[in-house]
Amino acid sequence: MIHFTSDYTEGAAPEILAALSEINLHQYSGYGTDPLCEEAKKLISYEIESENADIHFFVGGTQCNMTFIAASLRPHEAVVAVDTGHIAVHETGAVESTGHKVLTIPAADGKMRLEDLEMIYNLHRDEHMVKPRLIYLSQTTELGTVYQQKELNQIADFAHNHGMLLYIDGARLGSALTAEKSDCTLAHLAKVADAFSIGGTKNGMLFGEALVIVNDALKPDFRYFIKQKGGLLAKGWLLGLQFQVMFRDGLYYRLAEHANEQSRKIYAVLEECRIPMFAEAVSNQLFPIFPWSFIMELAQNFSFEIIEKIGADKAVIRLVTSWATADHDVEILCTWLRKFQVE
């Protein structure tokens, strides 16, 4: 069985483990107050081309999202997300568990549209309704698509012209930063967003998400929130060390680029076979639509997620490649996909 289920089925890039072994018996002060975290923050500051951001490290994405959101909102304020948004569907109500409503609007190819954002903003006009205050986007989106700089600028402008905040969930940011059709850069994100995360778990780290807080108003006392939500890792240097390895010589980008490349190879075959796609193929997630019978066959040798049924006899599946996806496995998959055409 070969996994195309997700990009977190393996451990970590060998460079990570090597670095870990090297510093293992060194003594560090706890909770992220160590020099490794400091160094990692410097490297990230360099990448985002700003020395004014506050950077914090988390073990996981749900924790990062909920901690930032709960810290940024007053009790009556709500988040706006697309209805496929990770916080809206797949975090077991983590945001609501901190007391805040997540308002949802439809998505086009996984992306938020300005007109829907305007509409939901305008609907919420008095104290009998929550106050939309924070816009939540994912880059890449849940459907593997990527916001272009122009699109982010428009949403950011809307947010800031209406007293709202923009937060970008970068669980798969590496893939967006290195996708062929993308002009996404860390420096641009740091210009438009009030805060965003840089995902490591899905890009070759054992675990780890970096939260970059740009907006000064959201910075004070932030470590209190991390501790309160249970996210302050005792051996915090494990996070610093990994992000250091990722950004000291571009490993983060190389790993993401590998995932994208493997995906492009698979997509080339899908195109060749004229398989319809549920969403545009841009990054390391592909959403082809197959007849149910073929999906059943495929499932005997590959593991992947079935996203949703389309009509009586078709379905969308998700194929995910990662930093660790081997050429050999991609070739086997492509051979199988080509079989489909022949049939």
Least distance (Å) between residue 177 CB and a second copy: 20
- Through-space distance between the first and last CA atoms of the chain, rounded to whole angstroms: 23
Stretch that binds a second copy, among 13-21, 185-193, 259-267, 282-290 (CB under 8 A): 13-21
Q: How far apart are CA 11 and CA 51, in angstroms?
A: 31
Rg (CA), the chain: 20
Q: Which stretch binds a second copy (CB under 8 A): 47-55, 72-80, 110-118, 139-147?
A: 72-80
Q: Name the amino acid, one letter, at 2.
A: I
> What is the nearest approach in angstroms of a second copy to the Cβ of residue 73?
9
Told to check if 12 binds a second copy by CB under 8 A, we report yes
Query: Per this entry, what is the length of the chain?
Result: 343
| Segment 299 to 328, residues that bind a second copy, using CB under 8 A | 324
Q: Could you tell me the smallest distance in angstroms from the CB atom of residue 224 to a second copy?
A: 4
Interface residue with a second copy among 51, 115, 221, 343 (CB under 8 A) is: 221
- Going by C-alpha positions, the residue among 330, 340, 334, 336 that lies closest to residue 293 is 340
Is the distance from CB of 198 to CB of 210 less than 8 angstroms? yes
Q: Does 9 bind a second copy (CB under 8 A)?
A: yes
Among positions 129, 187, 268, 296, the unique one binding a second copy when judged by CB under 8 A = 129
Both tokens of residue 122? 């305008």
Whole-angstrom distance, CA of residue 295 vs CA of residue 307 = 12
* Residues 231-270, interacting with a second copy (CB under 8 A): 231-235, 238
Q: Should residue 67 be labelled a site residue for a second copy when binding is judged by CB under 8 A?
A: yes
Q: Which is nearer to a second copy, 168 or 239 (CB)?
A: 239
Give dist(CA 182, CA 114) in Å, integer. 19
> Which amino acid does the sequence have at 310?
I
In angstroms, the CA 228 to CA 339 distance is 53
Instruction: Show the site string, 84-103: x = touches a second copy by CB under 8 A, - = not.
Output: -----xxxxxx-xxxxxxx-
Write the DSSP string, 277-333: BSS---SSEE-BEEEHHHHHHHTTTEE-EEEEEETTTEEEEEEE--TT--HHHHHHH
Residue 247 C-beta: closest distance to a second copy, Å = 20
Binding part of the chain for a second copy, among 5-13, 181-189, 257-265, 290-298 by CB under 8 A, reads: 5-13
Calpha distance 127→121 (Å, rounded): 13
Say if CB 287 and CB 276 are below 8 A apart.
Answer: no
51 interacts with a second copy by CB under 8 A: no
- The verdict on 75 binding a second copy (CB under 8 A) reads yes
Using CB under 8 A as the binding rule, the residues of this chain from 141 to 200 that contact a second copy are none
| Residue 71 in contact with a second copy, rule: CB under 8 A | yes
> Does 339 sit near a second copy (CB under 8 A)?
no
Query: How many chain residues touch a second copy (CB under 8 A)?
Result: 73
**Least separation, in Å, of the C-beta of 275 and a second copy?**
25
